[in-house]
Amino acid sequence: MTDATLVEPETIGGGEAVIVDCRFDLTRPDAGREAWLAGHIPGAVYLDLDRELSVPRGEHGGRHPLPAPQDFAATLARCGIDLATPVIAYDDSGFAIAGRLWWMMRALGYRPPALLNGGYSGWLAAGGEPEAGEVAATACPVPVVGDYAGRLTIDDVRSAQAAGATLVDARAPDRYRGENETMDPVAGHIPGAENRFWGDATDDSGRLLDNAALAAHWGELLEADRLVAYCGSGVSACINLFTLARLGRGDAQLYAGSWSDWCSHLPAEA
């Protein structure tokens, strides 16, 4: 049994699940909400990466710091989501943002959302008929939650690596190699980290590869004693964690601040 579940576009509709639209464009932060207002799966609420799935950045902590757990629980409650509510999440960027929601909910002890295979485009291609405009969600009581399980700080990562953990960088190979860096002020990767590009987990239509192909993608890293995932800011690494969970490695952890946090400490250490 896995807590990394996919749902097919043809099965959407008529169920009890709360549907969450997570579309977001890093280069145009308002584009996701605008796209949701223009058309979305009927009944889908919208959660914004910058406003609901993150808090403003500080000197350290990365570009997309996680919100306080109880604040995020309140956000979910406004959408009618409690600890046991079935949820289906989607985006249009190969699970990159929906995966962040999956990890956050799972780490706080919620029923993990299922991710829509193929995203919004896949749903449209399957004959989905969108609705436009705001969605009035029915709020529920706010549950009491603990901290994000499996969230690591930079000190945790240093200790884990010293103890033999394998770090896995989810960014594109060129950014991993320190080439074409456009998001962070310092190029490169954490010394010793392996690279498994999150975008290689999906096909050209945005559908997740089958488990055999995912296992081939991960290769010998599946046998590592301890796995720690990171990316640029703790978002796309969640897709690596999702695929690892599907392959039986639900124990992998997230360096939430990721490279944007790591490199923010480098000048002080120079």
Q: Are strands 166-169 and 114-116 parallel, antiparallel or unpaired?
A: unpaired
* Tokens matching residue 99: 């995966």
For residue 255, give every residue at least 6 positions away whose Cβ sits within 8 Å of its Cβ, in sequence order, or none: 152, 153, 154, 156, 157, 167, 228, 229, 230, 234, 237, 261, 262
Which residue among 22, 79, 231, 263 is the active-site one?
231
Q: Residue 4: name the closest of 118, 121, 99 by CA.
A: 99
* Angstrom distances, CA of residue 153 to CA of 103, 205, 231: 16, 34, 14
**Nearest-angstrom CA–CA distance, 126 and 198:** 25
**Nearest-angstrom CA–CA distance, 110 and 142:** 12
Instruction: Indicate the burial class of 268 (C-beta count within 10 angstroms; 0-12, 13-18, 19 or more).
Output: exposed
Number of residues assigned to the chain: 270
Is 231 designated active site? Answer: yes
- Strand (E) positions, 72-172? 87-90, 114-116, 151-152, 166-169
Residue 61 half-sphere exposure toward CB, CA atoms < 13 A = 11
Q: Which residues are catalytic?
A: 231
